[in-house]
Every structure is written in C-alpha cells, then in structure tokens.
Amino acid sequence: MPETNGRTPLYLEDLQPGQIYGGKQSVAIDTAAIKTYARQFDPQPFHLDEAAAAKTLFGGLAASGWHTASITMGLMATDGPPLAGGIVGSGLDELRWSKPVRPGDSLHVKCEILDVIPSKSRPEQGRIKMRTTTFNQYDEPVQVIVANLIVPKRKATAE
C-alpha cells in the first residue's frame, strides 16, 4: 500500500464532486527559503534581492510561483486527499498565481473534487479533476491549480 501518512487510501469509488480535503497543515515561508529556492530554480531579482524587488511590480521580495507550486504539492501529498497510488497527474487545466507569497506568509491548501471520470479504456482506474487553492494566513488565495489526476479503482473481489 502506498504511503498516505497513516490515512486510509481513497480509491476512485470513494470520491465524488464536492468533497473537500486539506486545511489542517500549513507551511511557513521565510526569506531564506525564498532565496534558496530562487537561487536554484528561478534566479530573478524580485526573488533574490529585497532592494531590487522593491523596484518591481511586486514592490518587495516575493516567492517564485514555482516555489509556491512546490509547497502546494507537498501540502497536497500530506493534507490533501490520500489517493491510493499517490497524487499522479496527467495534466493541468489551470494554474494561476493570484497574489505574491511573501516572507512571513503561512500557506495551507483546500482540495476540492470537481469531477470523477471512470476510464473507458482502462477499467482498473479513472481520473478526477481537482481544484487545489493555496491560501495565505489571511485566507487569501495565492494560487489555484485545476489538475487531472489518475486514481486507481479497488480491485474486484473474487467471485
């Protein structure tokens, strides 16, 4: 059984539109984390230097959107729905950054199941469409992802 942090794994049959998961865990963001991520993956001045960032449209140091997406993925894995087989994506319909993430922010996620689609060609699995909204400590959305995820069905019991 895949790791689901001690939570009961959910299969396609367990999921339905409107179910919401998350909101129990958060991740604090500090200046060092923003700069460390940026140096390796998104080395732009508004992620690396406070003085340079103050002169940009951000008006101050801001985390990379990709840093926010990475944090979101971690929160989805530990606080989102404990999908059997893990969170396996087949693509995104939407990725939006609605507000910059700043040093001192604390992020949490809410994952909402939007659709459950059994596979016609692979009877052992299906797909879900899930919207994950990442919020800061003021419950302001900072990122929205709508993802298509592959979820296994339960194995049929022997007759």
Distance CA 95, CA 22 (A): 19
DSSP string of 10-34, one letter each residue: B-GGG--TT-EEE-S--EE--HHHH
- Of the pLDDT bands very low, low, confident and very high (cuts 50, 70, 90), residue 6 is confident
The reply to whether 122 falls in a domain is: yes
The reply to whether 6 falls in a domain is: no
57-83 burial by CB neighbour count: b if 16+ within 10 A, else e?
Answer: eeeebbbbbebbbebbbebbebbbbbb
Distance CA 14, CA 40 (A): 39
pLDDT at 4 over 70: no
Distance CA 35, CA 41 (A): 10
The reply to whether 158 falls in a domain is: no
pLDDT, mean over the chain: 95
Residue-wise pLDDT tens digits, 39-68:
999 999 999 999 999 999 999 999 999 999
Distance CA 111, CA 45 (A): 32
The reply to whether 3 falls in a domain is: no
pLDDT at 1 over 50: no
The reply to whether 2 falls in a domain is: no
- Containing domain of residue 104, as a range? 12-152
pLDDT at 158 over 60: no
Domain count along the chain: 1
* DSSP-derived secondary structure letter, 99: S
66: helix, strand or coil: helix
Q: How many CA atoms lie within 13 A of 136 on its CB side?
A: 15
Residue-wise pLDDT tens digits, 99-125:
999 999 999 999 999 999 999 999 999
For residues 8-33, give the mean pLDDT.
98
For residues 13-41, give the mean pLDDT.
98
CATH number at 50 reads 3.10.129.10
